Structure 1
Amino acid sequence: MPGSTLPRHSPGSTGAALGLRQNLAQFMLLVTVNALVGGTLGQERTVLPLLASRTFHLDLYTSALTYILAFGLSKGATNYFAGTLSDRYGRKPVLVAGWLVAIPVPIMLIFGPSWGWIVAANVILGISQGLTWSTTVMMKMDLVGPERRGLAMGLNEAAGYLGVAGTALGTGYIASFYGLRPGPFLPGAAFIAVGLGLSVLTVRETHHHATAEAATHVSVRAGHGAGLGNREIFMLTSFRDNSLSAVSQAGMVNNLNDGLAWGLFPVLFATAGLGIERVGILTAVYPAVWGAGQLVTGALSDRTGRKPLIVAGMLVQAGALALVALGRDFGTWLIAAVLLGAGTAMVYPTLLAAIGDVAHPAWRARAVGIYRLWRDGGFAVGALLSGLIADAFGIPAAVAVVAALTGASGILVAIRMRGADHETST
């Protein structure tokens, strides 16, 4: 990597070789698994907001968004424990457990007789996503080592969100022909079955790769070594370390605006007179650009540094949200969806890579879990905040407020985060 001072890694005392080329087969298998993880989330993106209004007749946006609130709280909390559990028991058992937890979700979404069932399904889905997605992130970090961490996170998140986008688009078309239930949720059941089978039969444990990296790791700064307790790691990641805390708040705001997009965009587009097919297109374009863009931005952050992409991405997202608030037609919203996806692509894998840069391999999984606790807590904050504002002042006002918060988050990263940590992490 041009300008990098990182040494190339050879097998450590555990016999584990670090690097993308050395672990390509297992890495690509994990990419496939994470695409399936994304697909289980994508089954909801187009259909559930419409199910809330058309099937369960929820008039208040705050009530309709309770499923995102439930999802964000359960996923955020599970992210935190996923890091600790994967350090204690290994990555693979946590991944398999996440798939097992997901089994009842499509059944509850299809047959749930009340909105409470849908909310409960999203509590379970949040637990599953916290275990499966967090673990695939950790496993890829374990395999590649520090040299291609941005590329690894770009591929991981691209797979996940292309899975979200493809399923959101597909379920929109299924719903337009066959109704909101049960058809749109049948692909999710298939994804869970395939993901569980691959994880049990073909995925291999990667914890020993992290152990091999830790043997040669030199901390970026004093006080960031291996012997830290859970409380110290939480305080560092959340508040004390400038870079880690800046990344954590940016992740939270990013998913705050994603929670808004998930819950209110389909309703906004439908109430403007767009059919389910066009709503599905707009709902899918945002995560599709987000997913595909990460194939470029993750690797780019390995060369340019993390901070410039994070700051620029948050500001692009803010501009895109402002355009959604001002828009009144399909063409304007399509442009906004593309911009929102591009801005999120700049941010999403880069934030994860930045956590991996600073955190010691011995506690990196726990730091990732804490970051993802804050980040996915943004779903809950976004659902509550945007629902309250939309009920009081309308959806465009809610979008405008979130746009302002997103811009402020980017400015905070510019002020607080250090640059070039990725060049000195080992």
Structure 2
Amino acid sequence: MKKTTSTKNILRNIETLDEIAVPLLRWFHSEKRSLPWRESPTPYRVWVSEIMLQQTRVEAVKPYFERFVAALPDVRSLAQADEDMLMKLWEGLGYYSRARHLQDAARIVCSDHGGELPARFDDLLALPGIGRYTAGAIASIAFGEHRPAVDGNVLRVIMRLLASPADILKDSTKRAVEDALLVRLPKNVGDFNQALMELGALICLPRGAAHCSACPLQRFCLAKAASLQGDLPKKTPPKRRRTEKLTIFLLAKGGRIALEKRPAQGLLAGLWGFPSMQGHLEKQQAEQALQAIGLVPAKFHALPAAQHIFSHITWQMVAWRVELAETPTEIESASSKSAPASSESTETNAQPTPLLLREASAPYDMQTKTPALHWATTQEIIDTYSVPSAYRSYLPYIRSTAGESS
């Protein structure tokens, strides 16, 4: 009784939901998309697809899903996968922590559940990377458990059906929607949950773009009756993204390019990328910064500026491709051309020490050292190492660049 009272305090007109199952399922069985994870909805395939679909469009997920399940067809193969292979399969999907949580969960499933994904909502919820929505989706679609699956699409549909002004970013609103749906789930709960998601993805689109004339629930929709489609759902405005200025280095030596493995915590945790320093460095500044940590640039080539937008940060990047001196002759020649005049002698013949990693969002100093750079060929970067899309603007320049300026 307490849950019902709480639900009615947050939502209104919830009796509208009593009549939606039949027309919604009829529409879904007629209009649903052909998606690779629906062709054989095993628990493993449902799970992988739901993790991939978190904050990622269906069309973007399709090729990744097919490639992923071809390479890792079951829980045990996922649990045993090499990290570089796993990250390469995920490369370009973003939110890489999802892949790590997926593998962590697979290992728990192998150790605690005999390699079979658990069927119960509560057991699924206990696995890494699985929240209430994902647990509800897997439990209902793969196992037929009577659980709602409430994602952003479902929230939008329900808020419009009820003409509810409740903030959909609040946990209390999501739980109220779950409670309202739980007592109204039909026997075919997996299809019902997918139908609500499908309606939000294809018909009940965001920001006033809803195709109301094609909606199987239009006669029940209180937002349509009051012309409120463009105003609902309500949600707290997002926080303004902060901007970080970075200088990216494509360091080339002996036909190889330097990669850095980012720290285990924070943005792009544990992934491969190109070395970077905070701020937009001019050529002389970049040269001095590299020399300060033991590297001797022989040639510089300026690369185009680029931008990458994360959920809470925008990277504004400039970049240099730098050919590093390898032999004593090259080192001496490069140093004599670039070093400022000084009466003090310097050791120009010292062998360069490795550039050390740092968290890209922190100011560069010699105290923020982590393991040394890894040098890889162009083909190895393409075939083996997962480089996040934040660096993608500079992947075309990992091959030798003509017209470099010394």
TM-score using structure 2 length: 0.24
Higher helix proportion, which one? 1
